[in-house]
Amino acid sequence: MAKLLPLVLILLCISYSASADFYRDAEITWGDGRAKILEGGRALSLSLDNYSGSGFQSKNEYLFGRFDIQLKLVPGNSAGTVTTFFLSSQGAGHDEIDFEFLGNATGEPYTVHTNVYAKGKGDKEQQFRLWFDPSSAYHTYSILWNPQRIIFLVDNIPIRVFNNEEAITGTPFPTSQPMRVYCSLWNADDWATQGGRVKTDWTKAPFVATYRNFNINGCVAGSQCGSGSDSKLKTEGANNNNWRTQGLDANGRNRLRWVQQKYIIYNYCSDSKRFPKGIPAECKRSRF
């Protein structure tokens, strides 16, 4: 019965996909006027000053889906700033899938931090450099979450895959708690940049990051979701239901390998000091 539960939940939610509209799909949750919807709903800017950061969240909660957003990060001296795009459930034993962008001094590279929590357990960090300047133009960041795996993508290039191996290794995987999308810009200069050594230069405030083309193809928790014969699916998600079973093809695996070889700067799986009793079980299996 426990094994059937995720399937039942899939059948209980509606497939949802439409072009981006921050008015319709998001709500600004904090920042007291520092978050602004722009371009008639197509874009949203967050700002941070020495009093407060800001943030927004999706109106709906989803149980699986593909979540894309374009983002232009804080330019120039972004030291101490953290810009986020993540999914999270609520309450104890929560699930979470994270993209966090740690700012840096002018001319120094951003760090892209990723993590997965399932049933309250995280500690699965991988960090990357990017192959472009993420503050000079919009780039697309995506989280694909289906019952088999989580894929993190940058401009459609897979940078990380976290497989559901719960049945094999016992490593928890998020399958049953609906998650909301959260985005924020906040200050963490006690740890974010070069381990907290480089502080935020508040004379450069306000710091601004802009999000655009918020696009969700997913299952809205609590409604009807479904089979291919569901007319909603045909009209709203016609070509966009690949996420339900998407994995990596040979090309995807090659690109993932390229990123994992050239751009990874931290991998919890390689951090033997942190796991003196042996690296986590899921790390022992093939990474690709």
Ligand X SMILES: *[C@@H]1O[C@H](CO)[C@@H](O)[C@H](O)[C@H]1NC(C)=O
Contact positions toward ligand X, by CB under 6 A? 50-51, 102, 104, 108-109, 111, 192-194, 202
By beta-carbon proximity to ligand X, the closer residue of 17 and 193 is 193
DSSP-assigned letter for residue 179: B
By beta-carbon proximity to ligand X, the closer residue of 29 and 106 is 106
The least CB distance from residue 40 to ligand X, in Å, is: 32
CA distance 238 to 241: 7
The least CB distance from residue 203 to ligand X, in Å, is: 7
By beta-carbon proximity to ligand X, the closer residue of 41 and 109 is 109
By beta-carbon proximity to ligand X, the closer residue of 45 and 193 is 193
Q: Is 61 left (phi over 0), alpha (psi -120 to 50) or beta?
A: beta
The least CB distance from residue 106 to ligand X, in Å, is: 10
**In 3D, which of 150, 108, 111, 140 has the Cα closest to residue 127?**
111
Burial of 140 from C-beta contacts in 10 A (0-12 / 13-18 / 19+): middle
The least CB distance from residue 108 to ligand X, in Å, is: 3
Residue with tokens 């101490």: 80
Catalytic residues: 96, 100
| φ, ψ (nearest 5 deg) of residue 265 | -120, -15
Q: What is the CA angle 150-156-162, rounded to 5?
A: 15
What H or E segment, with its residue span, contains residue 260?
helix 250-262
By beta-carbon proximity to ligand X, the closer residue of 108 and 230 is 108
Q: Which residue is nearest to ligand X (CB)?
A: 108
The residues, any chain, with a CB within 8 Å of residue 204's CB and separated by 6 or more, are: 76, 77
The least CB distance from residue 33 to ligand X, in Å, is: 16
